[in-house]
Structure 1
Amino acid sequence: MSSRVARTKPMRLLIESLEERCTPAGNVAAVLSGSTLAITGDAQDNQIQIQIIIDPDGLSVVIDGLSGTQVNGASSVWFPAFSVNSIVIQMNQGNDEVSLGGLFGLAVQGNLSVDLGAGKDELTFIKTIVNGSTTIRARAGNDTINFRGGNTFTGPALVDLAQGNDNLRSFDEGPGPNSFNKSLRILGGAGDDTVSIAGNTTVGGTFEFQGQAGDDTLSALISTFKKLVVDTGVGNDSVLLGEGPGLGITVQTSATVLLGVGDDLLDVMGSTFGSTFFDGGPGTDTFLNLGGNNFGVPSVIVSFP
């Protein structure tokens, strides 16, 4: 009898594709401590939106993670709106994007503090109301801050752009003009900064821009300020006030523009002031009075060739 040896079937190696996974763009922590909502980013590129949502239980403050960002390990986190008085945001490192407001806007009964941290960050406001003070610190990096319309800041507002070539814009994209009821103070920091104020923006107190070092550009049109104070600091700076009939600015009391050291440009057109003091400072400066202006009394214009 012949014996037969069992033959084993050869094994075939198969490569099985794994389930596709998306690595989240970091995790943002949101904690309600008393009546203060504290939001803290990590070192990755976080993207979040904070707004009011109407749900069956009433109004809620919602923090949504965007583009893979998680909030407390989830896609979004909700807090009862009545329990949130102030909001403190600390984004830390990374190229972050923060949006405040949205379809139903956002109401902050107390104070708002936003620290974007180091990185190329973007902060956007739309239909947001802050009844207390507002403090924004951009930190190092080329940052962008947009007030896109329908925003009201009842208390004083401070924006510190810090280091970097930063951009700040106030305009009306449709929800209505932006209103700073008390004051708006912008600190430019080191870098070539661009600040544009338009779209019927109103500042009920002093609008102040401190340019510091760098070649800065400030343009303002179709806006109203109670008082204007501009000091561009060191650099070849440009200040543009108005663009003609119907596109000028109104300064109800005094307007002070100090261009500092550098070869600077002051361009004024179609604007009205209670009084003016324009000083070109050291350097080869240019003053353009393009017509349609009322410089008020007294009007002092010095240090221009």
Structure 2
Amino acid sequence: MNLLTKRFQRLAGKGLLIFSLIAALCGCSLEPGLLNETAAPPPQGESLLRVIFLDVGQGASQLLIAPSGKTMLIDAGNNDNEQTMLDYLHKYGIKRLDTVIGTHPDADHIGGMDKVIDETEVGNIYLPKASSNTKTFESLLKSIQRKGLKVKTAKAGVQLDLGEGIKIKMLAPVKSYEDSNNMSAVVKVTYGKNSFLLTGDAESQSEKDMLASGADLCADVLLVGHHGSKSSTTLAFLKAVKPRYGIIQVGKDNNYGHPTQTVLQRLKKQGVEVYRNDLQGTIEVDSDGTKLTIQTER
């Protein structure tokens, strides 16, 4: 048993075991817009749910700001994104995160989360029941411990609160898997007629089990699984989701070949309009409960 394993077990004994999954929004229609790179004031007009796909390079992070003012952060990019994440929170005026979700232990999803927890007031934190013997994961656990937070399990069936009118439910992981990607928390967010499905790095096995579970997967906006890897976004899953828009969180010139042509062609054939962080920077999708508006950084 190595030192990291012993440390993890000590933390786990203090109620810091890790779990997975979140839930999301439901809806339709959309109009492109332009996001101001230097400032991000709340949009004017009706009460909006803002779902912001932050540009963190070859990683993933989504910030949700509800009409109620409640906030949720799902993932926080890689280790070198710590200051970037703090800058984003400052830019969007975030002083408190009511809910934080780490979809799974991979560094490109939880790398910046330790600093976010250190520097921001946090209500609840959810992690899947998956661990990793890495310094990145250990650092996250230490930050959770220092803040006196108790980790709640992210798994299918968990429901979350972002205020009146918003329904958030975790659809995965449905069961336990050896592969940490398949342990990813998958969250469906519904606001009025609009919906979002945020999938982390969930791969084909998790997708298959979500389909078998009978969960309502239909969503207007799909966070394309695993940065557009061919191991995710199977045709059966895509047909069940029936998204109008697909968001791919991916970095420029990455070494993984993400997003793959296989997935891009599959999305195209299904009539999905694709937005990508590597091409358009931060992508914000706003919902008034009836229609969607998309703003991009570039």
Q: Same fold (TM over 0.5)?
A: no
Hey, which of these two has a bigger chunk of strand by percent? 1
**Bigger Rg, structure 1 or 2:** 1
Higher relative contact order (CA 8 A, sep 6+): 2
Tell me the TM-score normalized by structure 2. 0.29
Hey, which of these two has a bigger chunk of helix by percent? 2
Tell me the TM-score normalized by structure 1. 0.28
